[in-house]
Amino acid sequence: MTARYDNLVRTRSLDPEHDYLSIYQTMLRYEFPWDMKLGLNLAFNRSFSLPEIAAVHTATGELTERTQKRIDDTGLLMYEMVLNGFDQFRGREALRRINQIHRPYGISNDHYLYVLACLVIIPIRWLDQYAWRRPCCHERRATYLFYRELGQRMAITDIPGSYDEIEAWFDAYDATHLQPNDDAAAIERATRQLMLKRIPPMLAPLGNTLVSAMYDDRLRAATRVTTAAWPVRAGLHAGLRARALLLRRFGKPRATAMFSDGLKATTYPDGYEIGKLGPAPDDAPGRPAPDTVSPDSRSASDSR
């Protein structure tokens, strides 16, 4: 076995029940950095498209009027937790800030669970189809356990008990609830630039068409995106599969972890404070007053 599989050998020697954070970090930072970032982008894109969630975002203007900042804040908070876990200071601070941001809104448990399921399922499905190798059972279990822990610390209840169970829940909920809506269409138009940044420069002229081709039929319908012509969809699939083959045969393990030089974002060229990420009260015109928040708003402590 070549050095290409050294990280996989190490992962298989670990116990995902206890080492899920280390396994998930290896997936993101060493094994599949480009694919994982793209998969997470697609996961957030899908979660933003659920009609009820999309309506909240368009009401606040966070994704339609302050798009770059909202995208940067979401990425920074997520990656702080992945890089530091939930018990180190920066990971705890990121989780605390996420709970603070969400607390004023009457978001149902199912909607929180849908977002969580998107973060578990969508990246793994992308890896299954387009990464240089498919994720192993340890990696699937570690992904599920990382997000289960995140969900529990956000006071999300009724989280399915395994990767397979959350996948089945996601498919059923997605089929019923991801419906065409104008709010999702507005958010997709505003956030498309995020996906365009993942397109190689040589393919930039086809960028918009390729982004549309990355969406499945249900997501395209929900966001009112026109289906890309079949030659584009076929070409994208073939190109991504060819990339996977080349990486499998000729690629080498990444020597330097992604984010080894720290997390950076366009909005914060001089750095950022975790506690100041996300919307300030004055920046959220659609935020409900405290006495109108529904009873099922999050009640977890900031850091648990």
Segment 12-49, tens digit of pLDDT: 999 999 999 999 999 999 999 999 999 999 999 999 99
Contact 41, 198 (CB under 8 A): yes
Read off the pLDDT of each residue in 243-258 and give the average, rounded to a whole number: 94
Percent of the chain predicted with pLDDT > 90: 78
Write down how long the chain is: 304
pLDDT-based confidence at residue 2 (cuts at 50, 70, 90): low
Q: Tokens standing for 144?
A: 């599920």
pLDDT-based confidence at residue 301 (cuts at 50, 70, 90): very low
What are the angstrom distances between the C-alpha of 296 and each of 103, 147, 255? 10, 21, 46
Read off the pLDDT of each residue in 258-274 and give the average, rounded to a whole number: 94
What are the angstrom distances between the C-alpha of 63 and each of 29, 58, 116, 148, 189? 27, 7, 19, 26, 10
pLDDT-based confidence at residue 282 (cuts at 50, 70, 90): low
Read off the pLDDT of each residue in 91-100 and give the average, rounded to a whole number: 97
Read off the pLDDT of each residue in 81-87 and give the average, rounded to a whole number: 97
Read off the pLDDT of each residue in 234-259 and give the average, rounded to a whole number: 94
Domain boundaries, the chain: 14-266
Give the pLDDT score at 281: 59
More confident residue, 253 or 176: 176
Give the pLDDT score at 173: 98
Give the pLDDT score at 280: 75
pLDDT tens, position by position, 152-180 = 999 999 999 999 999 999 999 999 999 99
Contact 148, 21 (CB under 8 A): no
Give the pLDDT score at 117: 98
pLDDT-based confidence at residue 200 (cuts at 50, 70, 90): confident
DSSP code of 150?
Answer: H
Give the pLDDT score at 285: 41
pLDDT-based confidence at residue 111 (cuts at 50, 70, 90): very high
More confident residue, 297 or 173: 173
Give the pLDDT score at 105: 84
Give the pLDDT score at 299: 40
How many Cβ atoms are within 10 Å of 101's Cβ, its own excluded? Answer: 18
* Burial call 152-163: b when 16+ CB within 10 Å, e when fewer: ebbbbeebbeeb
Read off the pLDDT of each residue in 199-207 and give the average, rounded to a whole number: 80
Residue whose tokens read 């990971």? 91
Burial category of 72 from C-beta neighbours within 10 Å (exposed 0-12, middle 13-18, buried 19 and up)? buried
Average pLDDT along the chain: 90
Can you count the helices (H) and strands (E) in the chain?
Answer: 13, 0
The 3 state secondary structure assigned to the chain is CCHHHHHHHHHHCCCHHHHHHHHHHHHHHHHCHHHHHHHHHHHHHHHCCCHHHHHHHHHHCCCCCCHHHHHHHHHHHHHHHHHHCCCCHHHHHHHHHHHHHHCCCCCCHHHHHHHHHHHHHHHHHHHHHHCCCCCCHHHHHHHHHHHHHHHHHCCCCCCCCCHHHHHHHHHHHHHHHCCCCHHHHHHHHHHHHHHHCCCCHHHHHHHHHHHHHHCCHHHHHHHCCCCCCHHHHHHHHHHHHHHHHHHHHHCCCCCCCCCCCCCCCCCCCCCCCHHHCCCCHHHCCCCCCHHHCCCCCCCCCCCC
Percent of the chain predicted with pLDDT > 70: 91
